[in-house]
Structure 1
Amino acid sequence: MRNFNIKKAFWLTTLIILSASLLILQSCKKKSRSDLGATLYKKTKNKVFRDATPEGLADVFKKVMEEEKSHVANPKLIGAFYEENGYDPVFVMDHIFNGDVDLTANYFEKVNQHGLDPKMFNADEIKALVDKFQDKKAIKNLDEAYRDIALLEIKTANSLINYSNALQYGMISPRKIYQRYYTETKRPDSAGMSKIFYIKDMKHYLDSIQPKDPQYIALQKALASGSVAPGMSKEETIRYLVVNLERLRWKNKPTQDKYVIVNIPDYRLDVMDHGQSVLNMKVCVGEGRNKDRENSLVEYDESDKIDRPFSRETPQLNSMIHSVQVNPVWNIPQSIASKEIMVEAAKDPYYLSNKNIDVYKNGKKVEDPETIDWGSASAGDYDFKQRPGDDNALGKIKFLFNNKSSVYLHDTPAKQPFTWNMRAVSHGCVRLEKPQELARVLFGDGATYQKIADDMGKDNPDPTTLAVPKKVPVYLTYVTCWADSNGVIQFRPDVYGLDIVLYGHLQRFLAPSQQLANL
Structure 2
Amino acid sequence: MTISTIKKTALPVLLMLFCVFALSIQSCKKKSRSDMGAELYKKTKNKVFREATPEGLAEVFKQVLATNKGKMDNPKLITAFYEKNDYDPIFVMDHIFNGDVDITANYFEKASQHGLDPKMFKADQIKQLVAKFKDKKGIKNLDEAYHDIADLEILMANSLITYSSALQFGMISPRKIYSRYFTATKRPDSSSMMQALNAANLKTYLDSIQPKDPQYLLLQKALMAGGTAQGMTKEETTRYLVVNMERLRWKNKPTQQKYVIVNIPDYRLDVMENGKSILNMKVVVGEGRNTDNNISLVEYDESDKIDRPFSRETPQLNSMIHSVQVNPVWNIPQSIASKEIMVEAAKDPYYISNKGIDVYENGKKVEDPETINWANAPKDKYEFKQRPSDDNALGKIKFLFNNNSSVYLHDTPAKSAFSQAMRALSHGCVRLGDPKALAKAVFGDGSTYEKIAKAMDEDNPEPTTIAVPKKLPVYITYVTCWADSTNTLQYRPDVYGLDVVLYGHLQKFLANTNQIAAL
Q: TM-score range by the shorter chain?
A: over 0.9
1:210 aligns with 2:210: yes
Aligned position for 1:262: 262
Q: What count of residue pairs does the alignment treat as equivalent?
A: 510
State the shift of 1:508 in Å: 3.8
Go from structure 1 to structure 2 and tell me whether the alpha carbon gap of 1:3 and 1:483 turns closer, same or farther (over 3 Å shift): same
1:464 aligns with 2:469: no
| Matched residue SS, 1:431 | strand
State the shift of 1:193 in Å: 0.7
| Matched residue SS, 1:298 | helix
State the shift of 1:392 in Å: 0.6
Which shows bigger deviation, 10-19 or 56-65? Answer: 10-19
| Matched residue SS, 2:285 | strand
Aligned position for 2:34: 34
Which shows bigger deviation, 412-421 or 31-40? Answer: 31-40
Aligned position for 1:320: 320
Q: What is the identity, as a one-letter code, of the residue corresponding to 1:133?
A: F
Aligned position for 2:517: none
| Matched residue SS, 1:358 | strand
Aligned position for 2:65: 65
State the shift of 1:248 in Å: 1.0
Go from structure 1 to structure 2 and tell me whether the alpha carbon gap of 1:13 and 1:423 turns closer, same or farther (over 3 Å shift): farther
Q: Distance in 1 between matches of 2:347 and 2:508?
A: 53
State the shift of 1:21 in Å: 4.8
Q: What is the identity, as a one-letter code, of the residue corresponding to 2:197?
A: F
Aligned position for 1:433: 433
| Counterparts of residues 70-469 of structure 1 (less than 5 Å) | 70-469=70-469
TM-score by structure 1 length?
0.95
Go from structure 1 to structure 2 and tell me whether the alpha carbon gap of 1:83 and 1:386 turns closer, same or farther (over 3 Å shift): same
State the shift of 1:22 in Å: 3.9
Go from structure 1 to structure 2 and tell me whether the alpha carbon gap of 1:363 and 1:148 turns closer, same or farther (over 3 Å shift): same
State the shift of 1:371 in Å: 1.8
Go from structure 1 to structure 2 and tell me whether the alpha carbon gap of 1:335 and 1:4 turns closer, same or farther (over 3 Å shift): farther
Q: Deviations over 1:239-260 (max 9, x none)?
A: 1111111111111111111110
Aligned position for 2:492: 492
Go from structure 1 to structure 2 and tell me whether the alpha carbon gap of 1:334 and 1:45 turns closer, same or farther (over 3 Å shift): same
Aligned position for 2:514: none
State the shift of 1:58 in Å: 0.5
Q: Distance in 1 between matches of 2:373 and 2:26?
A: 86
Q: Distance in 2 between matches of 1:155 and 1:321?
A: 47
Q: Distance in 2 between matches of 1:406 and 1:201?
A: 50
State the shift of 1:332 in Å: 0.5
Go from structure 1 to structure 2 and tell me whether the alpha carbon gap of 1:333 and 1:9 turns closer, same or farther (over 3 Å shift): farther
Q: Deviations over 1:390-447 (max 9, x none)?
A: 1110001000000000000000011000000000000000000011101101111111
Go from structure 1 to structure 2 and tell me whether the alpha carbon gap of 1:343 and 1:9 turns closer, same or farther (over 3 Å shift): farther
Q: Deviations over 1:487-512 (max 9, x none)?
A: 1111111111111111111124459x
Q: Distance in 2 between matches of 1:15 and 1:330?
A: 75
Q: What is the identity, as a one-letter code, of the residue corresponding to 1:36?
A: M
| Matched residue SS, 1:384 | strand
Answer whether contact 2:160 2:197 (CA < 8 A) is retained. no
Q: Distance in 2 between matches of 1:245 and 1:509?
A: 16
State the shift of 1:28 in Å: 2.6
Answer whether contact 1:169 1:251 (CA < 8 A) is retained. yes
CA RMSD of aligned residues (A): 1.9
Aligned sequence identity (%): 75
Q: Distance in 1 between matches of 2:471 and 2:12?
A: 55
Go from structure 1 to structure 2 and tell me whether the alpha carbon gap of 1:93 and 1:355 turns closer, same or farther (over 3 Å shift): same
1:483 aligns with 2:483: yes
Which shows bigger deviation, 481-490 or 219-228? Answer: 219-228
Q: What is the identity, as a one-letter code, of the residue corresponding to 1:164?
A: S
Which shows bigger deviation, 435-444 or 292-301? Answer: 292-301
State the shift of 1:484 in Å: 0.9
Q: Deviations over 1:462-515 (max 9, x none)?
A: 11111111111111001111111111111111111111111111124459xxxx
Go from structure 1 to structure 2 and tell me whether the alpha carbon gap of 1:9 and 1:321 turns closer, same or farther (over 3 Å shift): farther
Q: What is the identity, as a one-letter code, of the residue corresponding to 2:41?
A: Y
Q: Distance in 2 between matches of 1:455 and 1:20?
A: 80
State the shift of 1:352 in Å: 1.3
Q: Distance in 2 between matches of 1:367 and 1:8?
A: 93
Q: What is the identity, as a one-letter code, of the residue corresponding to 2:47?
A: K
| Matched residue SS, 2:146 | helix
Q: Deviations over 1:96-128 (max 9, x none)?
A: 110000000000000011111111100011111
Go from structure 1 to structure 2 and tell me whether the alpha carbon gap of 1:11 and 1:286 turns closer, same or farther (over 3 Å shift): farther
Aligned position for 1:516: none
Answer whether contact 2:390 2:396 (CA < 8 A) is retained. yes
Q: Distance in 2 between matches of 1:9 and 1:364?
A: 87
Answer whether contact 2:161 2:197 (CA < 8 A) is retained. no
Q: Distance in 1 between matches of 2:16 and 2:459?
A: 84
Q: What is the identity, as a one-letter code, of the residue corresponding to 2:61?
A: F
